Amino acid sequence: MSTPDAHAELKQKLADIVRAFEPVGPTRYAKLLPIKEMIAELRRKGAGYGVIRNILASVGVSVAIDTLGRFCREEIEKREPRPLRSDRQSRQAKRPTTMPRPAIPGSSASSRDASVEAASDNPSPASSPAMATHPASASSPEPASQPTGGRGPRIADASKL
């Protein structure tokens, strides 16, 4: 069915197509690549993406601000592209949701336990050095300078009412 002439003709057509083939240029920034130097100059002069977008729109080049920002980062500044939003969200999900609280001097559980034990060892409030120097404070407890509880509402201690 196939003849050597048919194969030769097919090879010739394919060779002609291959010789005439020209690769399609990058279409991602097709509108912006010809004016790359002018955009770079505007950025060097301190123009923001919105201003550049308005200037380009006034001469008939419509482009989104996000695209303009990507173009400047990738083509002018030669920086790596920013991660996609889904990548940023997954990185944030890996972070702890609550930051560890800084240690407040004298508010750790062991120091509170030690102060409770010290108070139970000395049944007389007048015998403590703090109470001896401030007799007026014997009738009213000292207000805490730092909150000792965690997050949430403060609930009154019934024994102190």
- Residue 132 is predicted with a pLDDT of 47
Rounded-to-integer distance, Cα 9 and Cα 17, Å: 13
Q: Locate 129 and state its tokens.
A: 């050095």
Specify the DSSP element, H or E, that contains 120.
Answer: helix 109-121
CB half-sphere exposure, 153, CA atoms < 13 A: 3
Question: How many other CB atoms are there within 10 angstroms of residue 113's CB atom?
Answer: 10
Between 84 and 69, where is the model more confident?
69
6-22: per-residue pLDDT in tens?
A: 889 999 999 999 998 88
Given a cut of 90, is residue 91 above it in pLDDT? no
Sign of CA dihedral 75, 79, 81, 85: negative
- Mean pLDDT, range 96-110, rounded to an integer: 56
Q: Locate 150 and state its tokens.
A: 């965690």
Rounded-to-integer distance, Cα 155 and Cα 158, Å: 9
CA distance from start to end of the chain: 108
CB half-sphere exposure, 63, CA atoms < 13 A: 27
**Torsion angle of the four alpha carbons 118, 120, 121, 122, in this order, in degrees rounded to the nearest 10:** 90
